[in-house]
Amino acid sequence: MIRNSLIREMNFKANFILWMVVELLWFVGQIGFIQVVFQYVERIGDWSKWEVILLIGTHQIIAQIYQAFFYVNVANLPELVRTGRLDLMLVLPVDAQFAVSTRQFGLDNLVNALVGVAIVSFSLARLSILPLPHQIALYAVALGFGVTIHYAIMFTLATLSFWIVRAQGLIYGYFNFFNIGRYPDVIFRGAFKIIFSYVIPVIIVANVPSRILTRALESPFQRLAQMAVVSFCVLAASRLFWTCALRRYSSASS
C-alpha cells in the first residue's frame, strides 16, 4: 500500500511539492505568531519562548506523522460506507480496521515531520539542553502515544458514519480542533482542561512529550504512564465502537 501511494504521488510531482510548501508556510506562520506574543511577555506560565517553540515543533511531528499514515484514510471512511466500497475492505485477508486505516500514505507529510524535528533540535540548543538517552527514548514513545490518541479519536468520529452516513464535518472539525494541542497546557483551566486532557485528550498529546524533553525533574515516567493509559483507553474504545458499527453495516447491496 505504501508503494502504491508513492507511485500515485510521483505521478503528480508538482502537487506533491506544493503540498509540502503549503504545510511549511503554515508552520512558519505558527512560529511567527509565537514570536509576536513573546514581544510582549517573557513567559507563558512556566513556559519560556523556546519551550513553546519546541512544543509547536513536537505538535508538528505528531500531526504530520498522523497525516502521513492515517488522516486521509480515516477521513475517507464515511465515503466508503456511503458508496458501499467498504465491502472490498471487508473481504481482504487482513483486519478490516487495518485495511481501512492504512490504504494511502503521504510521503510529503513525513518530509514536513522532519521540519518539526529540526525545530525541536534547534530549540533544545537555544535552551542549552542536551537530553539524556532515556529522555529521547521516552520522547519517541510519547510521540507514538500522541499519534495513537489522534488516530483513535478521529477514527471513532469517522465510525459514526455507519449511523449518520456523512461524518466529514465531525472529522474535519476535530482535525482543526486538535491544533489546541500546540499551546502550553498552563493556559487552560477548569472543566475545559479536564475534559480535553482525559476525555478528549488533545492537550496532553504534545505537551507531555515536550515536558519530558525540557523538564527532566518533573517525573517523566509518571507523565508517560498517564499518556499510555489514556492512549490505551481511547484506542480500545475506538476498536469496540468499530466492532459494534460493523454489525450495523448492510453492504452496498442494500
Per residue in 64-73, pLDDT (tens digit) is: 899 888 988 8
* Single-letter residue type at 230: V
pLDDT of residue 253 exceeding 70 = no
Helix (H) or strand (E) holding 49: helix 49-66
pLDDT in tens, 161-196: 888 877 777 777 777 777 888 888 888 888 888 888
* Single-letter residue type at 237: A
Beta bridge partners of 44: 47
Q: Helices (DSSP H) in 160-185: which residue ranges?
A: 161-164, 168-177
pLDDT of residue 239 exceeding 90 = yes
Enter the C-alpha cell of residue 26: 503554515
What pLDDT does residue 134 have?
86
Enter the C-alpha cell of residue 103: 490504504
**8-11: long-range contacts at Cβ-Cβ below 8 A with a sequence spacing of 24 or more?**
8/104, 9/106, 9/107, 9/108
pLDDT in tens, 98-129: 989 888 887 778 878 888 898 899 899 988 88
What pLDDT does residue 216 have?
65
What pLDDT does residue 254 have?
54
